[in-house]
């Protein structure tokens, strides 16, 4: 766990504000790790019952504010 993720254990998520000064647009290639090293992203999703039924592929790094593309199950498959 990186330093940024450790912050989440000590403060409420509502108080985590991205530092946009170094934010980048990384959308295009799906990723689960931001260039700042964080693995925590803000993602818009929809629930159906107890699970996620749909999510948008645009996501934002919780810590640096960079935009990225969320991975999907098919991205992990090898041909």
Report, in this order, helix, strand and coil percent for the chain, each rounded to 5.
20, 35, 45
The pLDDT of residue 77 is 62
The domain spans of the chain are: 3-72
> Residue 49 gets which letter from DSSP?
T
Contact residues for 22 (Cβ-Cβ < 8 A; gap 6+) = 36, 64, 66
Whether 17 has a pLDDT exceeding 90, the answer reads no
The pTM of the full predicted model, rounded to 2 decimals, is: 0.80
pLDDT in tens, 24-78: 999 999 999 999 999 999 999 999 999 999 999 999 999 999 999 999 888 766 5
């Amino acid at each position: 766990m990186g330093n940024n993720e450790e912050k989440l254990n000590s403060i409420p998520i509502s108080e985590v504000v991205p530092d946009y000064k170094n934010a980048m647009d990384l959308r295009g290639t799906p990723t689960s790790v931001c260039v700042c090293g964080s693995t925590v992203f803000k993602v818009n999703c929809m629930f159906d019952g107890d699970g996620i039924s749909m999510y948008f592929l645009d996501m934002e790094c919780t810590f640096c504010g960079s935009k990225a593309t969320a991975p999907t199950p098919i991205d992990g498959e090898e041909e």
